[in-house]
Each structure stands twice: as structure tokens, then as C-alpha cells.
């Protein structure tokens, strides 16, 4: 996996390089917009992490230039600007995800993985998903495990679908809120946890192997150990 990080804060970019390195990715660093654009345009990256406020060339300008030249590499925008407006601006410019500084690395990690999964070339449209003996039919909107049908509410179905699409990856609560509920907000209570335990009761309760796991301090993961 090749990652490009365009970030002018040396402390943060050093930290990112180290963390990505531990993930097994090779990281290129650029500390200004112009160098960043040059690297981005000339190399095939799997994902790019671009700060908004950069010397020489602004982050959003880099993304616009890349998109205009047909470069569709997933981009995660980092920004100290957290207002909703800024987020909307960033996504409109062609960013694929937006993360406000300061952020937990687990959140960045989870989002990067999700971005890469999204951009992974599929074999045509997916009609069914499966993890271990859990199967989800997107066309019939049915779920079964070990051959036994499981009845899910529409939102539970959507939640499971998202988790299965990102099977083996950590999915954060914020990502679930944004992608399953389609709201960008900050719950006072971990409402997501309750939905997860409901879903868990339906898909894991009567089976030996638990699939839906909690990753402490980060989020959830659907995985067959």
C-alpha cells in the first residue's frame, strides 16, 4: 500500500509516517502543496492524506487539480477547520472523506482502510456479501447464517451491510453514524453501541463463533477469526 501524506506540521507528518509504517504501508511525505501535487500527479498511490492549509498551494486546490486531470485516487482531507461548512466544501472539491484535527489515529486508520476498500476494483456490482457462514443477499434483502434465516429491521440490514462491506476492518462509531444513518453529528451517549448489541444478539447469539467484535477505544469489526 502506498500512501501520500501532504502535511506541513512535521510532528504530525512524522507521527503519520510512523503509524502508516506500522500498518505496513510505504509513505511519501510532502511538506508543501506544490511538492505534494507534483508527487501526487506522478505516482500511483492507493490513498492520499492532504491537509487543507498548506504553504504554496492550498489542499483543496491540489484535489481540484488532481480530479480535473482524471486522477481518482481516494483522498482524505485533514483540517483544523471543523465547521460543517468546511466539511461540505472539502467534499465538494473532490475529497472522499474529511477528518478534523486533532484526531485519534484509530479514526484515521479506520477511514483510510474504508477509503481503500471503496476504491478497490470490484467484479461488477456486488449482489451478495459473506463473512464466514454469515450471508447477506443484497437483492432479496435477506440475511442468513449457517443456512438459518435471520430477520432484520431495515436499519439493522444497512448496518450489517456496511460492516460486511468493511469486514476485517475497524469501523468507528462516527463512520457508522455518517454512513448508516447518514447524519454527521456527535451523540452524547453511545447510541451506536445499543444498535450493535441488538444486531449482535441476532447474528451471533445462537452461534459458537462470534463475528461482530468490539475494538476497545476504536470501534467495531466484523471478522471471522
Partner 1 sequence: MALTAEQLGQGMKRTLGPTLNRLHQSSRFILTSSTFRLALLYMLLVGVSVAILLGFIYWSTAGYMARQTDATIGAEIQGLAEQYRRRGLAGLSTVIAERIARDPQGASIYLLTAPSGNPIIGNLDSWPQVAPDAGGWVRFRARQSLGEGEDVDIEHETRAKVFRLRGDLRLLVGRDVRELTAIRQLILDAMTWGLAITVGLALLGGWLMGASIARRLDVVNQVSREIMQGNLSRRVPSAGTGDDFDQLAENLNQMLERIEALMLSIRQVSDNIAHDLRTPLTRLRNRLELLHGGDLCDEARNEVEVAIADADELLSAFNALLRIARIEAGSRRAAFADLDPLPLLQDVAELYEPLAAESLQTIQVEGVTENSPCRLHADRDLLFQAIANLVDNAIKHSPNGGQIRLRAECSETRVELSVTDDGPGIPPELRDKVLQRFFRIDESRAAPGHGLGLSLVQAVAQLHGAALSLEDAAPGLRVRLRLPKQAKMQTNSSASGRASSPV
Burial 60-99 (b: 16+ CB within 10 A, else e): bebbebbeeeebebbbbbbbeeeeeebbebbeebbbbbbb
The residue among 19 and 39 lying less far from partner 1, judged by its C-beta, is 19
Window 2-21: residues binding partner 1 (CB under 8 A): 15, 19
H or E element in which residue 87 lies: helix 84-92
Query: Closer to partner 1 at the Cβ: 73 or 172?
Result: 172
DSSP code for 223? -
Nearer to partner 1, 69 or 189 (CB): 189
Which of 41, 72, 80, 224 is the binder for partner 1 (CB under 8 A)?
80
Q: Using the rule CB under 8 A, is 123 a contact of partner 1?
A: no
Residue 3 or 40: the one with the smaller Cβ distance to partner 1 is 3
149: contact with partner 1 by CB under 8 A: no
Residue linked to cell 486508520: 109
What element of type H or E holds 48?
strand 47-51
What is the footprint of partner 1 within residues 89-118 (CB under 8 A)? 89, 101-106
| SS3 state at 27 | strand
Query: Which member of 194, 206, 209, 224 binds partner 1 (CB under 8 A)?
Result: 194
The CA distance from 30 to 80, in Å, is 18
Q: Which residues bind partner 1 (CB under 8 A)?
A: 15, 19, 22, 80-85, 88-89, 101-106, 155, 181, 183-189, 191, 194-195, 198, 216-218
Amino acid at each position: 500500500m502506498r500512501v501520500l501524506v501532504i502535511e506541513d506540521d512535521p510532528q504530525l507528518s512524522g507521527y503519520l509516517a510512523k503509524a502508516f509504517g506500522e500498518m505496513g504501508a510505504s509513505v511519501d511525505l510532502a511538506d508543501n502543496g506544490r511538492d505534494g501535487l507534483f508527487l501526487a500527479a506522478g505516482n500511483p498511490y492507493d490513498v492520499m492524506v492532504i491537509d487543507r492549509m498548506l504553504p504554496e498551494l492550498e489542499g483543496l486546490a491540489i484535489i481540484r487539480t488532481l480530479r480535473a486531470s482524471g486522477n481518482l485516487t481516494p483522498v482524505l482531507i485533514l483540517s483544523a477547520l471543523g465547521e460543517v461548512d468546511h466539511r461540505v466544501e472539502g467534499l465538494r472539491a473532490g475529497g472522499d472523506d474529511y477528518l478534523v484535527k486533532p484526531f485519534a489515529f484509530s479514526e484515521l486508520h479506520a477511514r483510510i482502510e474504508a477509503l481503500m476498500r471503496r476504491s478497490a476494483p470490484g467484479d461488477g456490482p456486488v449482489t451478495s456479501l459473506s463473512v464466514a457462514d454469515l450471508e447477506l443477499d443484497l437483492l432479496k434483502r435477506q440475511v442468513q447464517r449457517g443456512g438459518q434465516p435471520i430477520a432484520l429491521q431495515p436499519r439493522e440490514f444497512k448496518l450489517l451491510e456496511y460492516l460486511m462491506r468493511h469486514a476485517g476492518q475497524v469501523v468507528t462509531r462516527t463512520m457508522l453514524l455518517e454512513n448508516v444513518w447518514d447524519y454527521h453529528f456527535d451523540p452524547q451517549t453511545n447510541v451506536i453501541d445499543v444498535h450493535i448489541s441488538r444486531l449482535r444478539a441476532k447474528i451471533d447469539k445462537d452461534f459458537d463463533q462470534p463475528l461482530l467484535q468490539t475494538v476497545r477505544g476504536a470501534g467495531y469489526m466484523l471478522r471471522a477469526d
